[in-house]
A = this chain, B = another copy of it.
Amino acid sequence: MSNLAIVLLSGGLDSCVTTAFASQHHDLALLHLSYGQRTQAREAQAFSDIANHYNVPSQYRRTVDMQYLADIGGSALTDKNIPVPDANLESTDVPITYVPFRNAHLLCLATSWAEIIGATAIYIGVVEEDSSGYPDCTETFCTTFAQAIQAGTHPDHHIELRTPIIHRNKTQIVKLGQELQAPIHLSWSCYESNDKACGRCDSCALRLRAFEQADLTDPIPYA
């Protein structure tokens, strides 16, 4: 069996540090999801830059278009006949990120690919403290999903699910990235811009505060 691990890599800070963590133990296969988000092209660039940084060969880089989730999730936001039970569906900005059970879809894609390429681990950069009511970001969910992976894949093929930053806060994640020499300068978190990070959106604000609290300087350019 190979020493390959699949990392779910959005291109943001959390998944960049998760990739650095995985690279200490495994050869990397990187999986990116696109879903029509505003900064899709910039995130794809970050994905590609981080993949190049780790010299990941082309057959171990995959991007999957998740627009299919709009067939399920989008409808709840537009169809007034359908009750919307969860507060987390109220945003209409990037609806697909708010589809319930979304991380399960990501892990399914990673698991199918792991079976195909013979990878022995899947890394996902979920953070339980950021989950704010998303049950599919919790350790409990990841533990039970790991059992479903084991039960639903080839019995001779053991695939571990690893969540190295699940109990860290953003400041600790920045510090870990520094320790692991993660290519944080290639990551991208801003929701508002494709050029320089805006420094003002929620994602930039969280990132900048984490660097400040870690006594480090964020290496990406800000407007």
Contacts and interface: CB of A to CB of B under 8 A. Distances in A.
Contacts of A154: 85-86, 100, 135
B151 A140 contact: yes
Interface in A34-65: 59, 62-65
A151 B144 contact: yes
A219 B163 CA distance: 52
Interface stretch (A103-111, A175-183, A197-205): A103-111
Interface in A76-96: 76, 79, 81-86, 89
A211 interface: no
Ranked 6 nearest A-B pairs via Cβ: A100-B115, A136-B152, A76-B116, A141-B152, A141-B151, A64-B71
Contacts of A150: 144
Given A116-B100, A118-B83, A155 B141 contact: no
